[in-house]
Amino acid sequence: MRCEMSEELDQDQKVLSILEETPQPSVLETGMAVGGFSQHVLDRYPHARITGISMPGEEGGCPVGFESDNVHSVLKNVGTLAGDVGVSDIPDTHHMETSLTMESVLPAGEEYDLIFCQERPVREPRTKATRKKGKNRPRKNKKMPGKRQIWSNSPKYIRILMAQLVIAMKHLRENGTIVVLMRKADDVHTFMLLDSIWKFSEVNLYKHRLWHQTTSWFYLVAKKVQTRSEKAAVAIETWRHKWKNTLGEAGAADGSAESVDEEVQAVSELLEDRGKLLIELAAPVWEAQADGLESLFKSLAKESKQSPPPKCLHAKRLARKLNPNWNPFSVLNVDY
């Protein structure tokens, strides 16, 4: 899957073209397992040097699907790499201190032409004990859709994303390229993140119309990144602070009324100044997802024989209860 996705991403965005500018191309990929993107790079550039950071198997990560003498693989949770993020003032009494890697995994000063940031949180790995409980295990505190925490705002997601961005900016060469897997282009935090990266690079968004068509996942492609610019330095420090906040060290700063007011003011100014440009940037992503959802619901409707309930929120329920004459978007209240 990832080899195909990497090939189509390159065809659309020409992300590998930067590797032709140097006799010894170098690539860093966080979230390398199962290795599809790195394998595609080696197929095109067999002499490329690749470093990959992957989630360990005991934390739910997948094994790397290929081997090569040109690939150096590191099994670490990128969200816990405090040393590489540049944070050293974690007290010994902190509840996450034992799970953090305080020493740097990547050598200082090592630079790459192209960096893929693809790591994301994984579900808690299943063990023999949890498998024995089976389907009859009671679900505690079950929440209905709309009342659940937005995953893209969860501490784990933010921690991993911020760590990847900081590490990428520290190790990307001037005018290099970064490709970042992200969620929900319509989320306010994603919106502000896109704007901050836009200030020191050329940004485009790409959404695979097969593998990501019904989800909110998309790729941010930043080219000609000015890693040494003042705006980049400000962004790196902001991301580092957000990473540290996910550890619980400065929780009061994020939830205070003053912090919320400042964020609302910042978003209002952003929408007024560059809102139209950012919406135009994200429009193809939303269009691809809308087309994918429409195709999904139409296929589900054809397989259904019963009429739907007045309010239906789960795709599995839709599969059981839709009929061809019903418009699913009227129930979901989604305006595309």
Amino acid at 221: V
45 with 16: CB under 8 angstroms? yes
* Predicted local distance difference test score (pLDDT) of residue 322: 44
Tell me the pTM. Answer: 0.80
* Sign of the dihedral defined by the CA atoms of residues 107, 111, 113, 116, in that order: positive
* Predicted local distance difference test score (pLDDT) of residue 213: 83
pLDDT digits (tens, 9 = 90+) for 83-127: 999 998 887 767 776 789 999 999 999 999 999 999 988 766 555
Q: Angle CA(117)–CA(153)–CA(295) in degrees, nearest 5?
A: 75
* Predicted local distance difference test score (pLDDT) of residue 297: 84
* Predicted local distance difference test score (pLDDT) of residue 139: 56
CATH number of 2-122+151-255: 3.40.50.150
Range(s) within the chain of domains with CATH label 3.40.50.150:
2-122+151-255
Tally: H helices and E strands in the chain: 11, 7
Q: Which residues contact 166 (CB under 8 A, 6 or more apart)?
A: 84, 85, 86, 236, 239, 240, 243
Cβ burial 191-227 (10 Å sphere, 16+ → b, else e): bbbbbbbbebbebbbbbbeeebbbebbbbbbbbebeb
Q: Which residues contact 89 (CB under 8 A, 6 or more apart)?
A: none
Strand order, beta sheet including 49-54: 71-75, 49-54, 26-30, 112-117, 172-183, 217-225, 202-206
* Predicted local distance difference test score (pLDDT) of residue 294: 86
176 with 225: CB under 8 angstroms? yes
186 with 282: CB under 8 angstroms? yes
* Predicted local distance difference test score (pLDDT) of residue 313: 43
18: its two tokens:
């930067």
Name the DSSP class of 17. Answer: G
Q: How would you classify the pairing of strands 49-54 and 217-225? A: unpaired
What does each C-alpha distance from 64 to 41, 61, 127, 165, 200 come to in angstroms? Answer: 15, 9, 21, 22, 33
pLDDT in tens, the chain (336 residues): 567 788 889 999 999 999 999 999 999 999 988 667 898 999 999 999 999 999 888 887 777 777 889 999 999 999 999 999 999 888 776 777 678 999 999 999 999 999 999 998 876 655 555 555 555 555 555 555 444 555 567 888 999 999 999 999 999 999 999 999 999 988 888 988 999 999 999 999 999 888 888 888 999 999 999 999 999 999 999 999 999 999 874 443 455 555 667 778 888 888 888 888 888 898 989 998 888 888 888 888 777 655 444 444 444 444 444 444 444 444 344 433
